Amino acid sequence: MELHELTAHELGELLKNKKVSAVELTKTVLDRIEKVDSKVGSYITVCEDEALKRAKDVQEKIDKGETKSPLAGIPMALKDNMCTEGIKTTCASKMLNNFVPPYNATVAKKLYDQDTILLGKLNMDEFAMGGSNENSYFKQTKNPWDLERVPGGSSGGSAAAVASNEAIFTLGSDTGGSIRQPASFCGVVGIKPTYGAVSRFGLVAFASSLDQIGPLTKDVTDCALVLNAITGHDPMDSTSINIEYPDYTKALVNDVKGMKIGIPKEYIGEGINPEVKKSILDAIEVLRKLGAECEEFSLPITEYAIPAYYLIACAEASSNLARYDGVKYGYRAEKYTDLLDLYKQTRSEGFGDEVKRRIMLGTYALSSGYYDAYYKKALQVRTLISKGFNEAFSKYDLIVGPTAPTTAFKIGEKANDPLEMYLGDIYTVSVNIAGLPGLVVPCGLDSSNLPVGLQLIGKHFDESTLLRVGYTFEQNTEFHKNKAKI
């Protein structure tokens, strides 16, 4: 086995016992990027020199016994919507093509503090809007399992990089499924933490009441390690929750006996691909055999989640993206007549089609005469969705179901129908609307050899239960050992 194929916890042991150096490991992963990224296209920016320099510094700390971090010396990469001081952060948009942040996002700082090594910045759908990476201004990231297919999105680069061993772990962001759906499509582990558990400071905002950062990793143990590194209260984010965060590695217990699991009927009914459904039901059977009590229940509000989600997300986006005016940073149009035209030309040339579509939809939903009918209505439905989950969690410890109705689709297959693309988010958006944590673990392959991901949904701040069930599933199955052949 090559170094770049190992998990962070395996490499952590090797680094600690001086079997490998951080420099050697970083070089190996940089070579891997050099070798496969022309095919996969996970990265927008690779910072080779900075990574090697940092690896040298970290190795010195390891040698002197100055670091206790289990992630010390591990090469990782960040989605290109997380600010990195001195390193271009584009959001995969022409608008931010030349933007070099003057500060680090809290997650970047926390990972640096843990002595990890930043390899570069990952491709995504522009401003995190999309589920296929087809909306990147720069390029199309491919699915490492089948290069004719999408990696999912919007954190497609983050998932593809882990699946093709171009990073040991990555961070993505999830507003309506943007960590979980690409994790499912690329056969890796991904978690969207509870809203407020991870600071959003320095994350380029899309929909502030829904956005949350989380890790994409090769297994559940790595997921717990990275969560330990990035969760916590941050005074720089007023929505960050100030509570005591647990040690997530304590949740890595191989036991689900007596655990009560609910399966929403609506998640395995109409609209799901039969092969995906079979993988999910087989996975539930595995958990049942291991002693979990699994039963179906009804979550009828599910069918209203997508319309509510798109109204809320687009309304918040139209407001958040108003800051791109061509004045303080980012793109500015070359030709304009006056200040108003400067704004308009800059925004028209700087944003791609999907971003414009969502700004238009959000502006419409917030505009005079339509606010009550659309935006307020969606926020009322949000209350009903939260209520539906609260009732379910009075009976169950967690909810289990599919992540997406299909496996990875072909590039271009859905590109001309925005609404059809939106409908693919049916099983993920409710989790963001209610602010819940959602973990995805690989649970099978379809007949085209494409991965299927099982989604585990938990109570607020109960990531530990999800990790425990995900870990147990992983320890008792072989699905996480399936790897993309690239």
Catalytic residue ranges: 79, 154, 178
Kindly tell me which residue out of 61, 103, 140, 286 binds other proteins, with binding defined by CB under 8 A. 103
Tokens 């509000």 label which residue?
A: 301
Q: Does 347 bind other proteins (CB under 8 A)?
A: yes
Residue among 139 and 376 whose Cβ is closer to other proteins: 376
Return the closest-CA partner of residue 174 out of 199, 192, 200, 198.
192
Residue among 56 and 357 whose Cβ is closer to other proteins: 357
Cα 96 versus chain centre, distance? 21
Q: How far is CA 215 from CA 19, 60, 118, 409, in A?
A: 26, 27, 14, 23
Kindly tell me which residue out of 138, 169, 201, 310 binds other proteins, with binding defined by CB under 8 A. 310
Q: Does 273 bind other proteins (CB under 8 A)?
A: no
Q: Does 88 bind other proteins (CB under 8 A)?
A: no
Kindly tell me which residue out of 66, 113, 323, 339 binds other proteins, with binding defined by CB under 8 A. 339
- Residue 166: CB partners within 8 Å, gap ≥ 6? 4, 29, 32, 33, 36, 37, 40, 42, 43, 77, 119, 160
DSSP string computed for 184-223: HHHT-EEEEPPTTSB--TTBPPS-TTT-EEEEEESSHHHH
Q: Does 390 bind other proteins (CB under 8 A)?
A: no
- Residue 248: CB partners within 8 Å, gap ≥ 6? 223, 224, 225, 227, 228, 231, 463, 464, 467
Q: Does 422 bind other proteins (CB under 8 A)?
A: yes
Q: 379, exposed or middle or buried, with CB in 10 Å at 0-12, 13-18, 19+?
A: middle
Build a one-symbol-per-residue string for 26-65: x at contacts with other proteins by CB under 8 A, - elsewhere: ----------------------------------------
Rounded-to-integer distance, Cα 137 and Cα 148, Å: 19
What would the two tokens of residue 53 be?
């320099």
Minimum Å gap between C-beta 250 and other proteins is: 24
Kindly tell me which residue out of 137, 245, 248, 343 binds other proteins, with binding defined by CB under 8 A. 343
Question: Residue 198 has what DSSP assignment?
Answer: B
Q: Does 335 bind other proteins (CB under 8 A)?
A: no
Cβ pair 149, 408 in contact under 8 A: yes
Q: Does 384 bind other proteins (CB under 8 A)?
A: yes
Size of site (CB under 8 A) for other proteins? 67
Kindly tell me which residue out of 254, 298, 383, 449 binds other proteins, with binding defined by CB under 8 A. 383
Q: Which residues pair with 76 in a beta bridge?
A: 118, 169
Q: Does 253 bind other proteins (CB under 8 A)?
A: no
Kindly identify the residues of this chain, within the stretch 107-146, that bind other proteins according to CB under 8 A. Answer: none
**Amino acid (one-letter) located at 409:** F
What would the two tokens of residue 363 be?
């502006």
Q: Does 97 bind other proteins (CB under 8 A)?
A: no
Build a one-symbol-per-residue string for 391-420: x at contacts with other proteins by CB under 8 A, - elsewhere: ---------------------------xx-
Q: How many other C-beta atoms lie within 10 A of the C-beta of residue 377?
A: 16
Kindly tell me which residue out of 140, 249, 386, 482 binds other proteins, with binding defined by CB under 8 A. 386
Kindly tell me which residue out of 139, 277, 288, 356 binds other proteins, with binding defined by CB under 8 A. 356
Q: Which residues pair with 143 in a beta bridge?
A: 146
Cβ pair 160, 141 in contact under 8 A: yes
Residue among 98 and 254 whose Cβ is closer to other proteins: 98
Kindly tell me which residue out of 108, 159, 203, 241 binds other proteins, with binding defined by CB under 8 A. 241
Examine residue 154 and say whether the peptide bond preceding it is cis (omega within 30 degrees of 0): yes
What would the two tokens of residue 326 be?
């061509």
Instruction: Find the part of the chain contacting other proteins (CB under 8 A) among 248-256, 284-292, 368-376, 468-476.
Output: 368-376
Residue among 176 and 330 whose Cβ is closer to other proteins: 330
3-state secondary structure (DSSP) of residue 87: strand
Question: Residue 375 has what DSSP assignment?
Answer: I
Contact positions vs other proteins (CB under 8 A) = 98-100, 102-103, 195-196, 209, 235, 238-239, 241, 303-304, 307-308, 310-311, 318, 322, 325-332, 336, 338-345, 347-348, 351, 356-357, 359-361, 363-364, 367, 373-374, 376-384, 386, 418-419, 422, 433-435, 460
